[in-house]
Amino acid sequence: MSLYAFEVTDIRGNTGTLEPWKGQVLLIVNTATGCGFARQFGGLESLYQKYRDHGFAVLGFPCRQFMRQEFSERSRIEQACRRDHGVTFPLFSVINVNGPGAHPLFRHLKREARGFLGTRSIKWNFTKFLVDRDGRVVRRFAPATTPETMEPHIRRLLGV
């Protein structure tokens, strides 16, 4: 199945696919506004602003699986991201990233790019998957990896 065919629901409850981002370099992230790594929102937003005109997007997927560090209500998540962290990149509704209820998109991402020592499971919030313009998952970054550290990889895929 193509990455772009996965059904997703945005933070406002609208359902669609990832087709609007076809041909772009994507950084897909499981987020949580109450996580210590939430400070990365600023760096993710900076990357988005810097490279969006070159065909780059950050897609944020809130997740409550790790110590319930995310609100359950979409409106509270959006408010925290937009107001408290200055996020303008696309946000989606709360999903699971592990277990039998894992969102199919994240099952695909984990299958294509394994984690530390070849593990598939996501260990914490802010695990990041870098996708090239053809929809191939080219790299997985650990939660502690800062957005600034990923920039050279993004630039290479964008050709800038």
Q: What is the pLDDT of residues 77-103, one digit of tens each?
A: 778 778 887 899 999 999 999 999 999
Look up residue 75 and give its two tokens.
Answer: 């409106």
Convert 87-96 to b/e letters by CB count within 10 Å (16 or more is b). bebbbbbbbb
Residue 87 has a pLDDT of 92
What is the Cα–Cα distance from 33 to 81, expressed in whole angstroms?
7
Closest by CA position to 21, among listed 40, 50, 46, 48? 48
Catalytic residue among 11, 32, 35, 130: 35
Residue 150 has a CB neighbour count (10 Å cut-off) of 18
Amino acid identity, position 107: R
- What architecture is domain 23-158? 3-Layer(aba) Sandwich (3.40)
Catalytic-residue membership of 63 = no
Lowest mean pLDDT among 19-28, 36-45, 112-121, 124-133: 112-121
State the virtual CA torsion across 113, 66, 56, 91 in degrees, nearest 10.
140
Give 43-73 pLDDT, tens digit per residue: 999 999 999 999 999 999 999 786 565 656 6
Helix ranges, the chain (H): 40-51, 74-79, 85, 104-112, 147-158
Beta bridge partners of 16: 8
Residue 43 has a pLDDT of 96
